Amino acid sequence: MIVAEKLTKIYPGKRAIDGVSFEVKKGEIVGFLGPNGAGKTTTMRILTCFQPATAGTASIAGFDVFEQADEVKRNIGYLPESPPLYMEMRVREYLDFIAHIKLVPRSERRKRLEDTLERCGLGDVQHRIMGKLSKGYRQRVGLAQAVLHNPPVLILDEPTSGLDPKQVVEVRRLVRGLAGEHTIILSTHILPEVSMTCERVIIINQGRIALSQPLRELDGGGKDQQNLILEVQTAQDAAAALRGVDGVRAVEGLPSPGQRRFRLQCELGTAVRARLAAFAVQQGWQLLELRAQETSLEETYLRVVSAEGGAH
């Protein structure tokens, strides 16, 4: 649904993005994550036809971003970091105006407006002037203008920027409710935003894609392996013995006073855990802990960004 191939944008004296390539499939909700200045907003602006790329290609819903910009705009809803609102207008008046300029058919306009007001939780404030709304409600209005014409693709740039914790939770819940019906790419530098909202993460750093991976694979160590934490009490050289267990690929010692604690890279599946437990009993070790290690998005992000930072 969204395809970017080798997108590059060069400003005088600066290469904002460099060979950015990724794909977002229909119905996915993907977090586009990176530190400030990493190239997130530049990429979003190219995908939404707000600015051209220096090189590379991109398409939205099968339409070329550079050659078929009008069709692309009909197929996307875009929420920039600062929503495009007219503060002197009332909420309903503004959304009706947006329906006109986005060419929502007259026969569908009223129903679409009512549905959007309800979906975005704006019914109680629909007759209020936007300049008098809280930032949380203004962000909801911004999201409403993005979904009003029911586009297949939503591109959201920092959708919870500047909101208080309660407003953040509400907007996240709202975005999550749009998943499946829309293909969503959510650009942010806030890690919990991705963990709580998205199915897959793309990390961009210094203008390049550093990682593209489903969130569920972060917990297991990768597509074909899992990380296990094992702790035993023994006087033996447990590390050397563990390396001989079928399904164990690597053994890393972890700090553990009095016991022996390890991180094991293993084949996927539960059979290797059963073998490890049986092996510990066979060796006469006291088994203190055996569990899958959950790798947080924060750990992955810091590792990837640090590694990339050292590479440039």
- 27-71 pLDDT, tens digit each: 899 999 888 888 998 999 999 999 999 999 999 999 999 999 999
| Whole-angstrom distance, CA of residue 201 vs CA of residue 185 | 10
Q: Tell me the average pLDDT across 237-246.
A: 92
Each domain of the chain, given as residue ranges in start order, spans 2-218, 222-292
Angle at 38 between CA 33 and CA 40, to 5 degrees: 55
The whole-number pLDDT of residue 224 equals 66
Q: Tell me the average pLDDT across 147-161.
A: 90
Taking the CB of residue 163, how many other CB atoms lie within 10 A of it? 18
* Domain covering 222-292, topology: Alpha-Beta Plaits (3.30.70)
Per DSSP, the residues of 257-279 read TTSEEEEEEEESSSHHHHHHHHH
The whole-number pLDDT of residue 106 equals 92
pLDDT band at 312 (very low <50, low <70, confident <90, very high): very low
Class of domain 2-218: alpha beta
Residue 21 has pLDDT above 80, yes or no: yes
Q: Tell me the average pLDDT across 235-249.
A: 91
What is the share, in percent, of the chain residues with pLDDT greater than 70?
94
Q: Tell me the average pLDDT across 129-143.
A: 92
Same fold, 2-218 and 222-292: no
The whole-number pLDDT of residue 310 equals 45
Q: What are residue 224's phi and psi, to 5 degrees?
A: -125, 15
Count CA atoms closer than 13 A to 129's CA, side-chain side. 4
What is residue 288's three-state secondary structure?
strand
Which has the minimum average pLDDT: 26-30, 202-206, 223-227?
Answer: 223-227
pLDDT band at 245 (very low <50, low <70, confident <90, very high): very high
Q: What is the chain's alpha carbon radius of gyration, rounded to the nearest angstrom? A: 24
The whole-number pLDDT of residue 217 equals 72
Strand ordering across the sheet containing 183-188 = 76-79, 153-157, 183-188, 29-33, 200-205, 208-214
Tokens of 111: 């129903």
Look at the pTM and tell me if it is higher than 0.75: no
The whole-number pLDDT of residue 309 equals 56
- Stretch (H or E) spanning 115: helix 106-119
| Whole-angstrom distance, CA of residue 91 vs CA of residue 138 | 9
Angle at 129 between CA 88 and CA 193, to 5 degrees: 100
- Read off the pLDDT of residues 251-309 as tens digits, 9 standing for 90 and up: 988 887 767 899 898 887 768 999 999 999 999 999 999 988 766 787 778 877 876 55
Residue whose C-alpha is closest to residue 232's, from 274, 196, 198, 260:
260
pLDDT band at 7 (very low <50, low <70, confident <90, very high): very high
